[in-house]
């Protein structure tokens, strides 16, 4: 999934662009294992957070693009 977002009026970058890339993982346990691996590798992922239908983890690649991993709830 590619998340697109349009900047609001008055924003400096008022043009559409890629907001983030999102990749699905099987479940919350897999998401937490991946986060642990990122930390062990010296990366700085955010905390796992919950949305209405999923658990998510975001980190930023070296070029500044936000990468999100998402696990469905209830699995």
Query: Alpha-carbon distance 60 to 62, whole Å?
Result: 7
Q: Answer whether 21's CB lies under 8 Å from 3's CB.
A: yes
Q: And the tokens for 27?
A: 């479940």
Q: Name the CATH superfamily for 20-72.
A: 2,3-Dihydroxybiphenyl 1,2-Dioxygenase, domain 1 (3.10.180.10)
Per-residue pLDDT of the chain (75 residues; tens, 9 = 90+): 555 555 555 555 556 667 788 999 999 999 999 999 999 999 999 999 999 999 999 999 888 888 999 999 986
For 51, counting Cβ atoms within 10 Å of its Cβ (0-12 exposed, 13-18 middle, 19+ buried), the class is exposed
Number of H helices, E strands in the chain: 1, 5
Report the predicted TM-score, pTM, of the whole model to 2 decimal places: 0.75
The domain limits of the chain are 20-72
């Amino acid at each position: 999934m590619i998340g697109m977002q349009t900047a609001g009026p008055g924003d400096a970058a008022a043009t559409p662009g890629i907001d983030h890339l999102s990749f699905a993982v099987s479940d919350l346990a897999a998401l937490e294992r991946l986060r642990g691996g990122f930390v062990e590798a010296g990366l700085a992922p955010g905390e796992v957070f919950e949305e209405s239908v999923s658990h998510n983890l975001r980190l930023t690649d070296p070029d500044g693009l936000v990468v999100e991993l998402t696990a469905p709830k209830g699995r």
